[in-house]
Amino acid sequence: MTPAEASQKTKEICALAPVVPVLVVDDAAHAAPLARALVAGGLPALEVTLRTPAALDVIREMAQVEGGVVGAGTLLTPADVKAAVAAGARFGVSPGATDTILKACEDEGLPLLPGAATASEAMRLLERGYTAMKFFPAEASGGAPALKAIGAPIPQISFCPTGGVSLKNAHDYLGLSNVMCVGGSWVAPKDKVLSGDWDGIESLAREAAQLKG
């Protein structure tokens, strides 16, 4: 998969809803009901971060949920990429971008949303052919004003800001012309996941799905 093809595919996935849930799931038993709740609430694109021992099993379970498009986040190595693809991930997300991780995703045919936090990082990815990126860590990197400033000279790049994004500030990002969607964990709070409050999570997802810039 070429970088241009990868970016086109990630843009299509990002266009599914204004928010991509960023999920850290410790127990694979929660995977299917959590995915069903988020999809029912209008958030079909799901990023499962590879930060827990259960993450790959979570991806396998969520990949079976009708209407969901499950991706793997926190991709750091080629081994991560191979394991994510084998588990059923349909897209990948990385906190930054290295030649190694980019090549691994291109070789495996996994559409990647690579991370960039500066104009130089964004330009380097653009040179390689990527036009869809993750702006991370969004709030720590200057938030919406910084992303707006980066977008002025590089309007051909579209971003999914993640890191410190919440219901409170999502509007600030979604109002920018260079933002496709935002990534956030607030739609699946740990207490609701642990207690099995799937109706509560569906409600949060429904609220997030209505966000506009």
pLDDT in tens, 75-100: 999 999 999 999 999 999 999 999 99
At 112 the pLDDT is 98
DSSP 28: G
Judged by DSSP in three states, 21 sits in strand
Q: In what order do the strands lie in the sheet with 112-113?
A: 112-113, 91-93, 69-73, 45-49, 19-23, 182-184
pLDDT range class, residue 66, cuts 50, 70, 90? very high
At 207 the pLDDT is 98
Q: Is the pLDDT of residue 213 over 80?
A: no
| Inter-residue contact 94 to 101 (CB < 8 Å) | yes
CATH number of 3-209: 3.20.20.70
Mean pLDDT of the region 15-41: 98
pTM of the model: 0.97
Which one of the listed residues 9, 47, 61, 192 is annotated catalytic?
Answer: 47
Q: How many Cβ atoms sit within 10 Å of the Cβ of residue 90?
A: 19
Exposure string over 179-193, b if 16+ CB within 10 A, otherwise e: bbbbbbbbbbeeebb
| Inter-residue contact 184 to 208 (CB < 8 Å) | yes
Q: What residue spans define the domains of the chain?
A: 3-209
At 212 the pLDDT is 87
How far is Cα 169 from Cα 184, in angstroms, rounded to an integer?
11
Q: Is the pLDDT of residue 210 over 80?
A: yes
Which one of the listed residues 9, 61, 106, 134 is annotated catalytic?
Answer: 134
At 138 the pLDDT is 98
Residue 121 a catalytic site member: no
DSSP 189: -
Residue 47 a catalytic site member: yes
Q: Is the pLDDT of residue 204 over 80?
A: yes
Residues 113-151: tens digit of each pLDDT: 999 999 999 999 999 999 999 999 999 999 999 999 999
CA 2 to centroid of chain Cα atoms: 19
Average confidence score pLDDT of the chain: 97
CA 98 to centroid of chain Cα atoms: 18
Residues 150-194: tens digit of each pLDDT: 999 999 999 999 999 999 999 999 999 999 999 999 999 999 999
